[in-house]
Structure 1
Amino acid sequence: MVSSRRSVEDASTLTGWFKSIYSGGNQGECLEVARGHATVPVRDSKAAHGPAVIFSAGSWSSFVTALKDERLSA
């Protein structure tokens, strides 16, 4: 299901998708993350059948921590 390129062609083949409660508005600029996998699949919320990018748990955790700590700039 997960390719060596760290992606999945059709993200709908994975289960456990959720959108953060902090996602707001109707701009459609949201990501969804799938729970219950050894890795962390991430997809565009508008494209359920589109691709998902796969992150290691450690990489995803570091990314989320950097966001919370406001260490990333736009």
Structure 2
Amino acid sequence: MWLTANSLAADWTEGARLRYVSIELANSIWAIELLRDARELALFDNALQLDYKSVIVRGIHDICAARLETWLFEK
């Protein structure tokens, strides 16, 4: 979904690997109990978009970006 929303594409093997890494990453972030209730954290703005003014949103983004920078080189 993210690839399509950002006008990107991946072949099915890259898509499968990215899916696996994304699930792994989501599980590791979900393990941080403070981040489980998005309503309490105000992660979204009024248009239901991520609110990048939030330190927490930027922190989660940085964790995800750093992890996804290495996924391509994993086999």
- Higher gyration radius (CA): 2
For the criterion TM > 0.5, the same-fold answer is no
TM-score (normalised: structure 2): 0.28
Indicate the structure whose relative CO is greater, using CA pairs within 8 Å and at least 6 residues apart.
Answer: 1
If each structure's helix is expressed as a fraction of its own residues, which one has the higher value?
A: 2
